[in-house]
Amino acid sequence: MNNVETIEGSSVPGELNLFVVGTCDKRITFYSQQVRAINLVHALVDTGRQKRHAKCAVVGGGACGIAAATALALLVPDATVHIFERGQQMLNTQLGCTRRNLHPHLYEWPSADSQNQDAGLPILNWRADSADRVAKAVLQSFATVRQAFPRIIERPLLQVFNVARNGSELDVTFKPRHEDADQHESYGFVFLTAGLPAYCGPAIVPAS
């Protein structure tokens, strides 16, 4: 897939700089979502679409969201990245899950590479293990990135429920869980990485 196909594959039709990553795709795994996020950010940077100093929102602090945030921090100079997560912590789906194993190359069986325990990712890499231990390893790498790039800001316990066009910006509407008051903030780029559609809160209000 070339850069343009990668970007188009995640773009919301008619909406500039609004991306939905993997939600409607097949073969969604922890690893494949990391790859989608990294490839998308790389393609945006490579084609000059992603601007320096961009203010970006990532909606959902799962495997996809933190990979997108990390790639943005590393590849876009001076980008500010806010990760909205409705749960208490990033990777909350995997943390504490000790009975289920994640293997990065599950879908590659029976090719020889499917035996490789190592994800082989350039960032936030991990090895086959329980979901809990994979999440902890990835979060440890993420913590190191966040230390180096304080412009990545985690915003836990905030549920996004609307993204609307406001001129060249995108207005993100969110509220703390269990509170009524809406809050809004504008971003140049929004990455919806909120997981499966059944779990997705945010509605996208099309440009009028």
Ligand X SMILES: Cc1cc2nc3c(=O)[nH]c(=O)nc-3n(C[C@H](O)[C@H](O)[C@H](O)COP(=O)(O)OP(=O)(O)OC[C@H]3O[C@@H](n4cnc5c(N)ncnc54)[C@H](O)[C@@H]3O)c2cc1C
Please say which residue, 43 or 63, places its beta carbon nearer to ligand X: 63
Q: Which of these ranges, 46-54, 86-94, 111-119, 146-154, lies near ligand X under the rule CB under 6 A?
A: 86-94
Q: Examine residue 83 and tell whether it contacts ligand X (CB under 6 A).
A: no
Do residues 80 and 58 make contact, with C-beta atoms less than 8 angstroms apart? no
Burial 26-52 (b: 16+ CB within 10 A, else e): eebbbbbbbbbbbbbbbbbbeeeebbe
Please say which residue, 26 or 52, places its beta carbon nearer to ligand X: 26
Please say which residue, 87 or 176, places its beta carbon nearer to ligand X: 87
Do residues 84 and 158 make contact, with C-beta atoms less than 8 angstroms apart? yes
Q: Examine residue 177 and tell whether it contacts ligand X (CB under 6 A).
A: no
Q: Which of 3, 15, 16, 29: binder of ligand X (CB under 6 A)?
A: 29
Q: x/- binding map, residues 119-158, to ligand X, per CB under 6 A?
A: ----------------------------------------
Report strand pairing: 152-156 vs 101-102. Answer: unpaired
Residues 51-80 interacting with ligand X (rule: CB under 6 A) = 59-65
Give the nearest distance from C-beta 208 to ligand X in angstroms.
23
For residue 163, give the nearest of 123, 190, 138 by alpha carbon.
190
Q: Examine residue 87 and tell whether it contacts ligand X (CB under 6 A).
A: yes
- Which residue has 């795709």 as its token pair? 25
Q: Examine residue 109 and tell whether it contacts ligand X (CB under 6 A).
A: no
Please say which residue, 100 or 184, places its beta carbon nearer to ligand X: 100
Please say which residue, 89 or 111, places its beta carbon nearer to ligand X: 89
Q: Examine residue 86 and tell whether it contacts ligand X (CB under 6 A).
A: yes
Q: Examine residue 39 and tell whether it contacts ligand X (CB under 6 A).
A: no
Please give the residue ranges that form the binding site for ligand X (CB under 6 A): 22, 28-31, 33, 59-65, 84-87, 92-93, 100, 102, 159-161, 193-195, 199-202
